[in-house]
Amino acid sequence: MRLWKMNGAGNAFAIFDARDRVFTPTPEQLRDIGQTLKADQIMSIESDVRADAFLRIWNADGSEVKACGNGTRAVAHLLLEESGKDQVRIQTEADLLKGSRADGGLVSVDMGSPLLGWEDIPLSEKMDVRGVDLKIGPIDNPILSRPAVVSMGNPHAVFFVADVDAFDIPAIGPLVEWHPTFPEGTNVGFAQILDRQTIRLRVWERGAGLTKACGTGACAALVCAARAGKTDRQAKLILDGGELLINWDETTDHVIMTGPVELESTLEI
């Protein structure tokens, strides 16, 4: 079996080629893989008659998830190089996604439409998704409150802050990740608006912790910022590991994510 170690804007992946064999790791094995290879997510590429491949995704804690934007871009790069095509279709548990080549050696993925209903996130009860009733810190003087929420195939809560570096994200992230408001947990974004085309973002990922980049988190931050009138519908997202360009297309309602991919190593196991 072939194993690729890759990253997308610093988001680290261990990707197994399971198109000609069954790959069913246990949660314990997945956690070992994540720790040994320092991977935020572990993925397997599987055969699928509906698309060029099916992508199965696990977080570093061994939990299976439906979506991973940067991981989909990494797999799209592998399939594009392997096939020589300009576009590939990747089936995930969340949706059928399209990956394509972009200028400068970058890779784009059409992430589809954001899900904006409270039940789509999901939330524990009906709330305004532009600012849910959640506070961190003293009730009368919280340090953070009312995050915007959206699903990009996985749940995201986005706090808009004046300075992302002013917050202890490893301490705050877990408090929100499994807050009762989110019955399936949530990714937690800390977004600093630099201007209408630029957002500084750090993300505490559900099941992975603080990562150098989060593709679906970048998409979520742009969607929430644009809905709030804080940015245009296209912006550059500056993450700890690199930059992503996110475009929420007004005509199709689809979110297109473009960014770098790096192949670090290839192993036969």
Tell me the per-residue pLDDT of 179-229, one tens digit each, with 9 for 90 and over: 999 999 999 999 999 999 999 999 999 999 999 999 999 999 999 999 999
What's domain 135-253's superfamily in CATH?
Diaminopimelate Epimerase; Chain A, domain 1 (3.10.310.10)
Peptide bond into 122 cis (omega under 30): yes
Beta-carbon count within 10 A of 75 CB: 31
Mean of per-residue pLDDT scores for the chain: 97
224 catalytic per annotation: no
Using CA atoms of 152, 156, 160, 161 in order, give the dihedral in degrees to the nearest 10. Answer: -130
Residues near 100 by beta carbon (within 8 Å), at least 6 away in sequence: 76, 80, 86, 87, 88, 107, 108, 109, 110
* Residues 122-167: tens digit of each pLDDT: 999 999 999 999 999 998 899 999 999 999 999 999 999 999 999 9
Q: What confidence tier does 30 reach under pLDDT thresholds 50, 70, 90?
A: very high
Kindly state the helix (H) or strand (E) to which residue 55 belongs, with its residue range: strand 53-59
Catalytic residue, candidates 67, 68, 213, 245: 68
> What is the residue type of 171?
A
Residues near 169 by beta carbon (within 8 Å), at least 6 away in sequence: 188, 190, 202, 204, 210
68 catalytic per annotation: yes
51 neighbors 57 (Cβ within 8 angstroms): no
Q: Which CATH architecture has domain 2-101+261-268?
A: Roll (3.10)
pLDDT number for residue 132 = 98
pLDDT number for residue 72 = 97
Matching fold, domains 2-101+261-268 and 135-253: yes
Catalytic residue, candidates 123, 201, 214, 246: 214
pLDDT number for residue 38 = 96
Domain boundaries, the chain: 2-101+261-268, 135-253
% the chain with pLDDT above 90: 99
* Residues 32-58: tens digit of each pLDDT: 999 999 999 999 999 999 999 999 999
> What is the residue type of 130?
R
